[in-house]
Structure 1
Amino acid sequence: MEVNLSSLSRQIETISKLPPEEVSEALSPDAARELRRNLNRLSVALESPGDIVDRIVYSPLDLVAIRLAVDLGIFKILADSQEPKSIQQLAGATGADATLLGRILRLLASIDAVAEAGPETYVATKISRAFTTAKGISGAGFFVDCLVHAWASLPATLAKSHYQNPTDHLHTGLQVGLRTDMHAFEWWSNHPKVFNDFNIFMTAQREGRAYWLDFYPFEQKLLAEPRDSEHDILFVDVGGALGSEIRELRKRYPALKGRMILQDRQQTIDHVSADSGMEAMVHDFFTPQPVTGARFYYLRNILHDWPEPLARLILQHTSSAMTPGTSRLLINELVVPLRGGGPFPPHSDFNMMSIVAGMERTEAQWKELLGSVGLEILEIWTGDGETESIIEAVAAVRDGLDVNG
């Protein structure tokens, strides 16, 4: 066994030195996830109990060191350089104290966020380059400035509630950690840098992941029930921000007939251009849906932001506007697997719990939530295990009667 493990170690070292694109192209996304999971299990098997504890309890400091490197521009300097950089060179480029930089870089090197090219000399790694991207830079800012405060306060918040599932979006780990009475969205909007980092991170979050129009058969659904009138309401994007979904639909299917309506708050709608190919409408999704009988109502990452009673209210207003038999509700959110899933869905679930008393839901929880407002799931479409699914639902009809009627 020892000989085999030694051989395996050398193979892993060899593979790790290959160009990243060569490694990533060798496996499908599912196979890559399974390999990462198995390598992680092997890593844990090789650790002592004390090593395991140290790794986990000290891990928040890894993010802190990465944030410092982002703020100082260390990752960009190393990524842009053709030659290794010494601590003294980095001190000259950043204006930071050389002793402090040495401490930061040693921690970063210990987690492969930079690589040692010689004594106190460093080069960029794949991790370094990841944190020169829009997602990496904004994520390091948003998570340290906001989210980790909420996460650290979650144990005390849950203990105070005697470990009841959170349902109050104004009494979460975020309010405790940030010492505020504001809802998360309000707090972000009052802190421009945090709000900017949040918006950039959420936009970048989708990059590299399967897009819903790549796995949901939108065009086939339209062809199954064709409509020729340009006056028919084809698509309503509820809480759709600046309308990126409608723009993508127009781009992919330029011959589509029918009205496409974007709904959001006044301050968002004010920034939608007049020639965007959509109708922009001010709407609060906690109030009755004014657009009735649309072919598709679309909700992306709306319901996980709200505790059960408010999520139910949003769905009730949507369901009441739907025409049984013709209207479809498309919910673009995570469906948490009961077993065998990766870390992203449960991480996102804990994050929602910590900041807004929301949640990511399993298939059974989605069925229960939708069924409580007279909606029935037709099918769930998923690109991969780390991607939001499309939950396709209709207004349920029982014994010939519309349950919403």
Structure 2
Amino acid sequence: MTFAVLRALHAILGDALNDIEAVYTQADPSPIPTPPPPPSHRKAPSFSKAYASPPPSPSSALPDPTAANPTRLDFPSLDAPCDPASPSEQLTAHPAVVAAINRIVAAAGQLAASVQVPFLSLCDASMGYHLPACLRLLEAAHVPELLRAGPVHVREIAARTGVEQATLAHILRLLATHHLLREAAPDVFATNRISSLLDTGKPLHTLVAQCRKYEDDTSGVAAFVGLCTDELYKSSAYLTESVFPGAARLDPTRAPFNYAFGCGGVGYFAANGKTTASPNPNRFRLERFGKAMAGTGSWEAPGAVLHGFDWGALPRGSVVVDVGGGIGSTSMLLASAYAEPTGGGGLRFVIQDRSVVVEMGEKAWRSKCPELLDSGAVKIAVHDFFAPQPIAGAAVFLLRVVLHDWPDAFAQRILLRLREAAEPHTKLVLADFVLPLACVDDFGVGPQVEGAEKMLAPAPLLANLGKASANAYWMDLTMQVTFNGQERTLRETVALALSAGWKVMRVTKAPGSLFGHIVAVPV
């Protein structure tokens, strides 16, 4: 039966590739249309400047006498920098292409696991820690910005970064071996479609002089990679120590992060944001975390939050409370579409977070949307979500990537505070990964929870699409090692919400994504 499974996986690869090629063959060489907006939606302006500098990935027209359209777009090249504005890159968001890509990644991963010598698979898994270590150096040394203009010899890279040449060459070659860079010639390296996303678009001399790259006008991808490969990577090494008998698994102040950094008794944010007589050396980590959350927008389809809930159906003047909203990146997208800059009858937004984050948020909004602050359409307020919620009767309480930071007992307290302030018409919108099981799951299917799914793929693929869904499970463990938190399955989220007086009614996910918007009502 093994050969039958291998051939089935091989067939999935071929069929999926045909599906992608068909979309590109039929496409007009212009940006694909965006999904139809919900009622009352106004187009939100783009605030990203992250891709202003890197050269585009090619959208070259390749002659093909057998094709109906001889000027069809080619798929983006792995060897060229990424340009999200190019038609070929935009087509990767086409629903049929997204579905096909997921099948390819799932089938290829399962095929490799099936045929590779088991010990070599264990080597890949147990020695993979070198990859984030090398990726951290790449980001911290500003190598993507240095390679922006094209391939550069390691001699020059070493001179510009201060890293010893031979050591640097081996580090960059490991990244190239894993398709994160390209070795264009012996000891000559270049970014590619993947690593070019780390380029902040800022002048290299500015980054080196200021030692800062987590500014408001970057995509947040570099900040996210810096976060993951620094304190999160170090924390993961202490997972075992934190879960052995006797360890306080459900205490957010005794997570693997606390073991790694010797700061028991305080959580991640308190450890990095504390005020002392001398400058806090970890303050940059808090700033990086805030910007990294903006970078996580890549988890969602563009504008997914606009379609995860019917914002246009809310009465004019309704209040949306963005609980633990960080610097307000999600509210900025929503407010640009549904708020009135003059303070008229559009939706009104209140962003709540800790004082140090509010300070950063006000700076970001003053830079990008000062008119929404001045009109009162948007307010940024200091609030501890474990304290009573000061805004009663809000139309929507929005929590984007908040509950995954906390063990169930703490997440329940957050939801209880919101339930105390809710009225019958109030909706709760949770934006988080929704983890599928690795087997068929019939929980919530049918009238119980609209949008619930039994499986993402048929056999022989894993029911959760295997490697194609890995990012959600990476994030699950990231939450555990940082906060003793977790991403949750649908059944776990339903039970958690119900324990705090909320009933989950619906889950919405963009095609090919595990990041969902869960809507609940008071009970």
Report the TM-score when normalising by structure 2.
0.65
Partner in structure 1 of residue 472 of structure 2:
345
Is the Cα contact below 8 Å between 2:152 and 2:190 reproduced in 1? yes
1:87 aligns with 2:176: no
Cα distance in 2, alignment partners of residues 180 and 130 from structure 1 = 33
Partner in structure 1 of residue 271 of structure 2:
187
Deviation at 1:261, TM superposition (A): 2.7
Cα distance in 1, alignment partners of residues 347 and 153 from structure 2 = 61
Is the Cα contact below 8 Å between 2:132 and 2:233 reproduced in 1? no
Partner in structure 2 of residue 328 of structure 1:
427
Partner in structure 1 of residue 216 of structure 2:
none
Cα distance in 2, alignment partners of residues 206 and 344 from structure 1 = 13
Partner in structure 2 of residue 218 of structure 1:
310
1:375 aligns with 2:502: yes
Question: Aligned match of 2:258 in 175, 180, 192?
Answer: 175
Deviation at 1:335, TM superposition (A): 1.6
2:100 match: secondary structure: helix
Partner in structure 2 of residue 25 of structure 1:
91
Partner in structure 2 of residue 237 of structure 1:
322
**Greater RCO structure (CA 8 Å; 6+ sep):** 2
**Runs of at least 5 residues in structure 1 that lack an aligned partner in the other structure:** 397-405
1:2-401 to structure 2, matched below 5 A, reads 22=88, 25=91, 28-81=97-150, 84-133=151-200, 134-161=219-246, 166-181=249-264, 182-189=266-273, 190=280, 191-207=282-298, 209-210=300-301, 211-222=303-314, 227=315, 230=317, 233-254=318-339, 256-257=345-346, 259-270=348-359, 272=362, 274-275=373-374, 277-324=377-424, 326-339=425-438, 340-341=464-465, 342-396=469-523
CA RMSD of aligned residues (A): 3.1
Deviation at 1:124, TM superposition (A): 2.7
**Runs of at least 5 residues in structure 2 that lack an aligned partner in the other structure:** 19-73, 201-218, 274-279, 367-372, 439-463
More helix by share: 1
Which residue identity lines up with residue 239 of structure 1 in the other structure? Answer: G
Which residue identity lines up with residue 25 of structure 1 in the other structure? Answer: L
Cα distance in 2, alignment partners of residues 93 and 291 from structure 1 = 52
Deviation at 1:258, TM superposition (A): 5.5
Is the Cα contact below 8 Å between 2:79 and 2:182 reproduced in 1? no
Cα distance in 2, alignment partners of residues 262 and 88 from structure 1 = 48
Partner in structure 1 of residue 442 of structure 2:
none
Is the Cα contact below 8 Å between 1:87 and 1:120 reproduced in 2? yes
Deviation at 1:147, TM superposition (A): 0.6
Is the Cα contact below 8 Å between 2:299 and 2:515 reproduced in 1? no
Which residue identity lines up with residue 414 of structure 2 in the other structure? Answer: I
Task: Report which stretch shifted further, 357-366 or 278-287.
Answer: 278-287
Change (3 A) 1:96 1:249: closer
Which residue identity lines up with residue 139 of structure 1 in the other structure? Answer: F
Report the TM-score when normalising by structure 1.
0.82
Change (3 A) 1:378 1:159: same
Partner in structure 2 of residue 401 of structure 1:
none
Which residue identity lines up with residue 283 of structure 2 in the other structure? Answer: P
Cα distance in 2, alignment partners of residues 126 and 259 from structure 1 = 39
Is the Cα contact below 8 Å between 2:339 and 2:348 reproduced in 1? no
Cα distance in 1, alignment partners of residues 191 and 231 from structure 2 = 27
Cα distance in 1, alignment partners of residues 79 and 155 from structure 2 = 30
Identical counterparts, % of pairs:
24
Cα distance in 2, alignment partners of residues 372 and 55 from structure 1 = 41
Which residue identity lines up with residue 123 of structure 2 in the other structure? Answer: D
Is the Cα contact below 8 Å between 2:255 and 2:482 reproduced in 1? yes
2:517 match: secondary structure: strand
Deviation at 1:132, TM superposition (A): 2.3
Change (3 A) 1:38 1:243: same
1:200 match: secondary structure: helix
Cα distance in 2, alignment partners of residues 136 and 254 from structure 1 = 28
Cα distance in 2, alignment partners of residues 91 and 35 from structure 1 = 37
